[in-house]
């Protein structure tokens, strides 16, 4: 393998650099990283491809290119291989979820070789296998079932849906398998610089992992850089009698082939509410126990409004209630029966029990103390904005850290970790991070709530627009929910948005970009939004800071 530093003249924009990278990186064994502002390309070649032929391909694109002497390269310009005494940097990654694969792909692009270690039989982590993908498929199916019997159009006959859960589950699993193959397995098959090792990894010291494999075999893996991306697992509360019963976590709930007659849910955050409503709409009776109010950590208006909506659909919600004891009796010819005694003095019975009380990080079995990696009181790995742990060459990303538990956060963190471990300098900015819950209506938030701003001693003004004032919601005959915007005073800058509405997950990115670009409420109010769309509601809400929305005409400018 050899590397060269090239001077490339004639590039006029970043797309020029992208075009050169795309053309050369498509060749076997060839990697080039091009900087448009500097007019520099760092070329790394494995195999017999000649420098002359590669320079010709760059010139065919209309650029002038010359080879620079190797001794002119600075440490910042060096490829990972050059910076590592002529051999590829070796990155070991524990886990194979979105953060792990994002890191692996970027590290290989930057010249490293990667070893992935996975303890489970299949790769891909939570999102594709037992989280985001299967849950959204189930939620969508439940939404269709709900519309069949509860839609708002009297000219279309309503009917009770016939649910074949086994057939729905087969479709769901087929799509999961398809996406895992396309987004994870095929990457391994097509990339010789990424190696998969199956087994349980733990640190021997700061430079070495011990991997416990099948049949008592052990192996050791040494690396130059490490990424810990082990995710999180469901929390099981210490309720007397719960251990040993066939309770569900979200995994079993998503994989069940039989709908329960009565599902009892313990929990009140995103996972609990999404699955509770999905089962309700598929025909199960659902009772939910919430330790506090719904979505206790969000703006209180969201939990209060969603509470009304779910009760109207038929869900039983017991807020400020906990389970004191759980028992289970097996059935002879049918499903068994759970009995739950609550702190409110109630006794509840149901044939299934779902525990959805949070997801602590998977760090207990990693022997992090052997490497000197620090964790917080909950076992989450402490990292900085560059994904560095307390040990300089060990990084972490995703749900095993104190970062928000969203797949897009894990992927962004994994990519930035790879950039940093191969000589770059990339931080993650979570100040405009969106959060979405896929109940109906959906919840989507970004930035600060009124309460959070007050804690930071920021003076704010907020406005709430109910969906009765959004033309698209009126046209849909679906006005459950609201849009709330939080403005900094006196600057007028948008600080936060809380939305409870159909398609809130699609709407929120407008607020994300507005906050990221420090737009004011006036900026938002003056933008052109397409009519009739739900996202137009953000513009209308922005206009209410200065006007009465009821005095505006349709698509008011």
Q: Is 13 a catalytic residue?
A: yes
- Could you please report the per-residue DSSP string of 428-493? ---TT--EEE-SSSEEEEEE--HHHHHHTT--EEEEEEEGGG-HHHHHHT----EEEEEEETTT-B
Bridge-partner residues for 265, per DSSP? 288, 354
CA-based nearest residue to 24, from 8, 10, 4, 45: 45
Give SS3 for 97: coil
User: Whole-angstrom Cα distance, residue 301 to residue 295?
Assistant: 10
> To 10 degrees, the CA torsion angle through 257, 263, 264, 266?
40
Q: Is 103 a catalytic residue?
A: no
User: Whole-angstrom Cα distance, residue 108 to residue 192?
Assistant: 10
Q: Is 554 a catalytic residue?
A: yes
Catalytic residue among 103, 132, 315, 519: 132
Catalytic residue among 16, 387, 487, 534: 16
Q: Is 127 a catalytic residue?
A: yes
Catalytic residue among 1, 13, 103, 421: 13
Catalytic residue among 1, 103, 127, 395: 127
User: Whole-angstrom Cα distance, residue 241 to residue 239?
Assistant: 6
Cα dihedral sign, 48-51-57-60: negative
Q: Is 541 a catalytic residue?
A: no
Q: Is 63 a catalytic residue?
A: yes
User: Whole-angstrom Cα distance, residue 101 to residue 105?
Assistant: 6
Catalytic residue among 11, 138, 315, 443: 11
Bridge-partner residues for 381, per DSSP? 375, 401
* 79 contacts 111 by C-beta, under 8 angstroms: yes
Q: Is 16 a catalytic residue?
A: yes
> Per the structure block, which two tokens stand in for 546?
């200065």
User: Whole-angstrom Cα distance, residue 96 to residue 187?
Assistant: 12
Report residue 167 CA to chain centroid gap: 28
Q: Is 11 a catalytic residue?
A: yes
Cα dihedral sign, 190-399-394-206: negative
> Per the structure block, which two tokens stand in for 24?
């050369």
* 483 contacts 465 by C-beta, under 8 angstroms: yes
User: What are the residues whose beta carbons fall under 8 Å from the beta carbon of 118, sequence distance 6 or more?
Assistant: 95, 96, 196, 197, 198, 199
* 260 contacts 279 by C-beta, under 8 angstroms: yes
Catalytic residue among 1, 63, 387, 437: 63
> Per the structure block, which two tokens stand in for 327?
């028992």
DSSP class of residue 162? P
Catalytic residue among 328, 386, 408, 555: 555
- Residue 297 CB burial class (10 angstroms; 0-12, 13-18, ≥19): exposed
* 479 contacts 466 by C-beta, under 8 angstroms: yes
CA-based nearest residue to 101, from 16, 26, 185, 209: 185
Q: Where would I find the H helices in 112-209?
A: 125-130, 132-150, 165-180, 186-190
User: Whole-angstrom Cα distance, residue 157 to residue 163?
Assistant: 18
DSSP class of residue 208? E
Catalytic residues: 11, 13, 16, 63, 127, 132, 554-555
């Amino acid at each position: 393998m050899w590397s060269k530093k090239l001077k490339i003249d004639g590039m006029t924009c970043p797309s020029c650099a992208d075009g050169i990278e795309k053309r050369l990186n498509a060749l076997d064994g060839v990697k080039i990283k091009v900087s448009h502002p500097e007019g520099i390309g760092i070329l790394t070649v494995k195999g017999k491809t000649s420098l002359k032929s590669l320079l010709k391909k760059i010139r065919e694109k209309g650029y002038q290119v010359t080879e620079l002497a190797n001794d002119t390269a600075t440490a910042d310009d060096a490829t990972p291989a050059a910076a590592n005494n002529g051999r590829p940097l070796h990155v070991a990654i524990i886990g194979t979820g979105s953060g792990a694969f994002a890191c692996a792909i970027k590290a290989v692009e930057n010249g490293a070789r990667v070893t992935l270690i996975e303890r489970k039989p299949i790769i891909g982590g939570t999102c594709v296998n037992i989280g985001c993908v299967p849950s959204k498929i189930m939620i969508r199916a439940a939404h269709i079932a709900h519309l069949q019997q509860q839609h708002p159009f009297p000219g279309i006959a309503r009917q009770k849906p016939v649910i074949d859960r086994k057939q729905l589950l087969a479709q769901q699993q087929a799509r999961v398998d398809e996406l895992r193959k396309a987004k994870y397995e095929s990457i391994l098959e097509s990339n010789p610089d990424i190696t998969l090792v199956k087994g349980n990894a733990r640190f021997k010291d700061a430079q070495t992992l011990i991997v416990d494999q099948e049949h008592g075999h052990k192996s050791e893996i040494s690396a130059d850089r490490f990424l810990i991306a082990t995710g999180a697992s469901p929390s099981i509360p210490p309720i007397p009698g719960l251990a040993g019963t066939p309770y569900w976590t979200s995994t079993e709930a998503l994989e069940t082939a039989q709908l329960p007659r009565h599902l009892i849910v313990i929990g009140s955050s995103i996972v609990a509410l999404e699955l509770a409503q999905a089962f309700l709409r598929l025909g199960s009776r659902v009772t939910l126990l919430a330790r506090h109010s719904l979505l206790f950590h969000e703006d209180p208006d969201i939990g209060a409004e969603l509470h009304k909506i779910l009760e109207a659909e038929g869900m039983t919600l017991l807020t400020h209630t906990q389970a004191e004891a759980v028992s289970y009796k097996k059935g002879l010819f049918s499903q068994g029966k759970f009995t739950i005694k609550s702190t409110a003095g109630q006794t509840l019975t149901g044939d299934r029990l779902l525990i959805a009380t949070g997801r602590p990080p998977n760090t207990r079995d990693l022997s992090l103390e052997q490497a000197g990696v620090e964790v917080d009181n909950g076992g989450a790995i402490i990292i900085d904005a560059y994904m560095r742990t307390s040990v300089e060459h060990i990084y972490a990303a995703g749900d095993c850290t104190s970062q928000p538990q969203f797949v897009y956060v894990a992927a962004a963190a994994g990519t930035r970790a790879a950039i940093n471990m191969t000589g770059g300098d990339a931080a993650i900015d979570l100040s405009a991070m969106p959060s979405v819950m896929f109940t109906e209506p959906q919840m989507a938030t970004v930035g600060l709530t009124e309460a959070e701003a007050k804690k930071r001693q920021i003076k704010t003004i907020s406005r709430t627009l109910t969906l009765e004032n959004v033309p698209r919601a009126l046209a849909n005959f679906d006005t459950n929910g609201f849009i709330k915007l939080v403005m900094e005073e006196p600057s007028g800058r948008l600080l936060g948005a809380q939305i409870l509405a159909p398609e809130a997950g699609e709407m929120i990115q407008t607020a994300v970009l507005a906050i990221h670009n420090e737009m004011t409420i006036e900026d938002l109010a003056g933008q052109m939004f397409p009519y009739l769309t739900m996202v137009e509601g953000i513009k209308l809400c922005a206009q209410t800071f200065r006007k009465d929305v009821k005095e505006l005409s349709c698509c008011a400018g």
